[in-house]
Structure 1
């Protein structure tokens, strides 16, 4: 990042400050003569622009017909309504793709890890990874697991995660990831619903979390790290056997069971979404689904796609399909994947040690990077001037299709930002939640690499659309990828109509899931009779053929860190407070928390105010800090009692004296909140709350 210890910049700033003191003049043209000369050199030495792979003013192809369907331009048969399923006819499954990568890499480095911070990365090569995966899968068959069996895995990203995945594929088993944010109850529900008998666990702590609510179906835990004797005994008391990962591998090597490779149509995973209401839903994805998704992204990246010489940093959860698809794309081309040490605070240190060239990311990471740089430059006039000049120059290059990290400005201003991600990054894929346009442009300028933003869902195996190299305009998610097509469907209750290029985003293609596990009713609610998956997101087509996400059909939204919020659920809990008559919970996909507008119960609040000798009308009381604290503390107490997660609790409230009503246009005739109208009505107050929270 730009900081006081940035050698070149600090020395320059110090000398410039001294010079300004000496001449006693303002920071004008004279003070920046040297920078101007450097700028002239920079402009004279700029490289040749890269040509976009498609015309940027026509990035998708509209199919004829009334449904206004749009398809990718990166697959010529898309015009005929066909979708990419694979690139190489011999690579149709994730079993095939890993072996293809081993061949492409010539047994190069595959899985990397560090035993501790400060240590160098160690590498497992492809052939050894294949052997160990096969041994583990063979060992699982010795535990009674066979084709179609669902194997659970509950672990942070590590080499053993991938060995488990590939070991399962050797014998046509199906992987079911578990993860911390699901919570123990949801994990127990998944194990029970999927009838999971074996779960690979990372360590003693995760083993105990599963044992707390272990369903009867769970028979064995296979621990990657050592477990305590007390944990092993606790497991036995519950009828669960704890085995060591390495012991299952050894037993599998001795057993040497013949492999049973999967077919493209076979399930490779049941990926449970964290859900927003009720229990999580298991998204059934086949090998074809994943291969199609990976291949479509590789096609769209063109010359920027990963190769055998690339190294990727793995820190986003492998339990989610964004990271899973990125890693499988790396293995397909014979690239290397290095895992972070497990502590997100040490991620910069891991990246400096690994020096990745490819990196999947989420908006929250880029937001922090942006905030840190802005904080640094805001404290110094000279830093701010230099930063603005550097940003303007790099943005100008972006607009001309130039992507590089070796300019004068990169070396002077953005060197620390680039070194913070290892210094070699050439490709970043951003997804999971919306990204503010100014942050995306900053990332493209500061990192000096290709940064593409995608939109997708677990149900579509991650990608639905992806921005195109050369398109510098932010705040859209690009055209459809080659494995699917997109249409917009009317949402009349929200006044979105396809004829106006607005509506619910619906997807059809080889990346669309097979349905929800043991939940046909939920599947029918999501996939219609013509095979269109209804995402619940509202989008609009921009004139250049790219998609922009503008709303959520069911008023469910993501926070910037990717967590889903169901405001109605939270409102139904807060309304239990005796002080609350009405409440409107609101959030923004570019923010990390939620806030609320609260109409207090006039009688209860006035009664409390009188008891505490606080005078005033309800309007006056709404502006009283003590009243606000009373109501907010009580709301948070109800939220805690209802087990709301921390990100589901409001971080600020605005007290409004006048009730929402049909007459003032904030309620429907059936007395339901008109959420878009409420958000628009209280826009100043909402913006003020967020401004105070930043």
Structure 2
């Protein structure tokens, strides 16, 4: 089970004397590391690269189970129990696949350059993802993740920008790659993770595999499946080409809300320092099990899987359907459950409905149990309660398999009430972290015993932090009672810059190697940091006040469980904000039906659309947004005054979300221009009536 080191909750960071400069605070560090940041894994200082990390684990845990997945039974159309490959078995597959890829590139394609080229990987989390990436580390290649949710245009950009000759993809992406092959002149080989097997011959029948191979040949593309490349590597083994710590291990493309993605250059040293930093706060045991569903194309999923690999523990991949994730958890029984607020909010909503929101005796007992456990937590008496755990919460824990000891959340704010409810419901440590792709997802984190929610803790052992003035938003390092400003990070986990992008590199990283995050925060008297705003995407309202819509959206989403998605907009010629919101069906339907008296199911899209159009429902929804805004400390001009409800979700496919699920503001604004204008018109019509 994960073990956490104790920390002084009253001093979670310290400002180093003599480090203040004009317009900035001093440098804040973890109290135990004021004399120097962590630069290596202290228990294994010889590990300097991902290659050495995995070789170390293979030598120690060769016979232990490592990668697990649930095979699909085509006859019953169900997923079976987890099957496992050991560390030793995976090592053999990495050797074979990596050798096969090297043979393809050098002999079959005629490319004599043996290192520093890029291998593309495009799939959901699965064993072949790890094997493909680790093969890059065996032969000093650069892995490039193609997001599962990237559209064709972005895939085209990344493959061409990173000059990728070989793409490894799950079977469902092969046709898309072939369809766009004419726009990908550098791509010469596609490797399907799924078998391209010819079925038994039927007179007159043509298999899908044969069609794909013929299509690829017509495009000048060589198409193989994973087992064919492994067989090729077994026949033509290659000598390892171990990387150096400062070599780039991966390009991780971060998608912005405008413009093309930026290729963050992650070095082997960045990965190792991230693992080292996490190891100083938490020990993962070889007996632990991770459920891996956070996209491996994103940094959080990537470094957590790497930490598990170093620890000799097990990685169980979800079967691909996020809506059925809890089914995987019950089957796997993980001890470590990383997540993001959007998922935790949904789990919270379901638990509340089944416990404190339940009718009759069940609801009454649950409310007493929750109140008792929350009182214990807030008094610093821990997560467990002998009576209420036995009566209620031991059953609740089974929703995640019954063995979860640690949950980690990040990427966006999470409401205080959600955080504490999950802590007492599952009886496990729930920590909230802060980081970015540029910092390997590693920067700040709350302590395991923290019982005061609403912040992201202090710096990790390998990171130092400072706050820099943002005069245009009136945030200053001299503010009282606490310093405020843009969060800047430094340490061995910070990337060296963006691939082929000097402009963005220069803007984000200064000459002293500080990464300027664009996030605004303050540090309190305990040394805890709280994120309060965002420097980018700000606009000025008619009354002269600056507004950061992302901050408002985060506040509302974290505190109103009716919201699935929300877009806050303000016109510079107007003095009020309006919003477009997609309601969360599971909470919105009973809420709206209670107002209208209508009977609508949570899967009845037409019925939900009718509920969205009801004026009484919109008004009640707006009041819930107001409550959330007050709870989140929004200022008067930051409150939304009108809302349009819709069932048309913002998606990557319709161009309104980035692949990392951030709102593309110009696109959403343009799409809902008519509704926005109508809301502002309604506000203007209401203003004269209000004066009468």
Q: Does 1:326 align with 2:304?
A: yes
- Cα gap change, 1:406 to 1:397, in 2 (>3 Å): closer
* Counterpart-to-counterpart distance in 1, 2:242 and 2:148: 31
CA apart distance, 1:391:
1.6
- Give the secondary-structure state (helix, strand or coil) at the position aligned to 1:372: helix
Q: Does 1:80 align with 2:35?
A: yes
Q: How does 1:361-400 map to 2 (within 5 A)?
A: 361-376=339-354, 377-399=356-378
- Cα gap change, 1:514 to 1:637, in 2 (>3 Å): closer
Q: Which residue of 2 aligns with 1:221?
A: 190
Deviation track 1:305-352 (CA, whole Å, cap 9, x = no partner) reads: 211110110111111110111111011010010111111122111111
CA apart distance, 1:564:
14
- Give the secondary-structure state (helix, strand or coil) at the position aligned to 1:655: helix
| Over 6 Å off, 4+ runs | 558-568, 580-583, 587-592, 631-634, 636-642
* Counterpart-to-counterpart distance in 1, 2:433 and 2:650: 37
CA apart distance, 1:90:
1.3
Q: Which residue of 2 aligns with 1:613?
A: none
Q: Which residue of 2 aligns with 1:551?
A: 533
Q: Does 1:644 align with 2:600?
A: no
* Counterpart-to-counterpart distance in 1, 2:500 and 2:467: 28
Contact 2:333–2:401 (CA<8 Å) still a contact in 1?
yes
Q: How does 1:396-435 map to 2 (within 5 A)?
A: 396-399=375-378, 401=380, 403=382, 407-435=386-414
Q: Does 1:161 align with 2:151?
A: no
Unmatched 5+ stretches in structure 2:
73-77, 107-113, 197-208, 538-548, 586-617, 620-642, 688-692
* Counterpart-to-counterpart distance in 1, 2:102 and 2:271: 24
Q: Which residue of 2 aligns with 1:193?
A: 161
- Give the secondary-structure state (helix, strand or coil) at the position aligned to 2:329: helix
Q: Does 1:530 align with 2:512?
A: yes
Q: How does 1:170-185 map to 2 (within 5 A)?
A: 170-185=138-153
Q: Does 1:235 align with 2:216?
A: yes
Q: Does 1:247 align with 2:228?
A: yes
Q: Does 1:444 align with 2:444?
A: no
* Counterpart-to-counterpart distance in 2, 1:381 and 1:638: 38
CA apart distance, 1:61:
1.6
CA apart distance, 1:51:
10
* Counterpart-to-counterpart distance in 2, 1:175 and 1:246: 20
- Cα gap change, 1:311 to 1:402, in 2 (>3 Å): farther
Q: Which residue of 2 aligns with 1:656?
A: 680
- Cα gap change, 1:82 to 1:315, in 2 (>3 Å): closer
- Cα gap change, 1:564 to 1:179, in 2 (>3 Å): farther
Q: Does 1:291 align with 2:272?
A: yes
Q: Which residue of 2 aligns with 1:315?
A: 293
Q: How does 1:105-144 map to 2 (within 5 A)?
A: 105-116=61-72, 117-144=78-105
- Cα gap change, 1:51 to 1:238, in 2 (>3 Å): closer
* Counterpart-to-counterpart distance in 1, 2:5 and 2:379: 10
* Counterpart-to-counterpart distance in 2, 1:249 and 1:279: 34
Contact 1:557–1:566 (CA<8 Å) still a contact in 2?
no
Deviation track 1:553-587 (CA, whole Å, cap 9, x = no partner) reads: 0137386799999979x889xx9xxxx99995658
Larger Rg: 1
CA apart distance, 1:426:
0.6
- Give the secondary-structure state (helix, strand or coil) at the position aligned to 2:338: strand
Give the aligned length. 563
Contact 2:570–2:577 (CA<8 Å) still a contact in 1?
yes
Q: Which residue of 1 aligns with 2:260?
A: 279
Q: How does 1:476-487 map to 2 (within 5 A)?
A: 476-487=455-466
- Cα gap change, 1:152 to 1:313, in 2 (>3 Å): same
Q: Does 1:461 align with 2:440?
A: yes
Deviation track 1:104-123 (CA, whole Å, cap 9, x = no partner) reads: 43520000011034522111
Contact 2:582–2:645 (CA<8 Å) still a contact in 1?
no
CA apart distance, 1:85:
3.3
Contact 2:195–2:227 (CA<8 Å) still a contact in 1?
no
CA apart distance, 1:536:
0.5
* Counterpart-to-counterpart distance in 2, 1:157 and 1:589: 28
Q: Give the structure-1-normalised TM-score.
A: 0.75
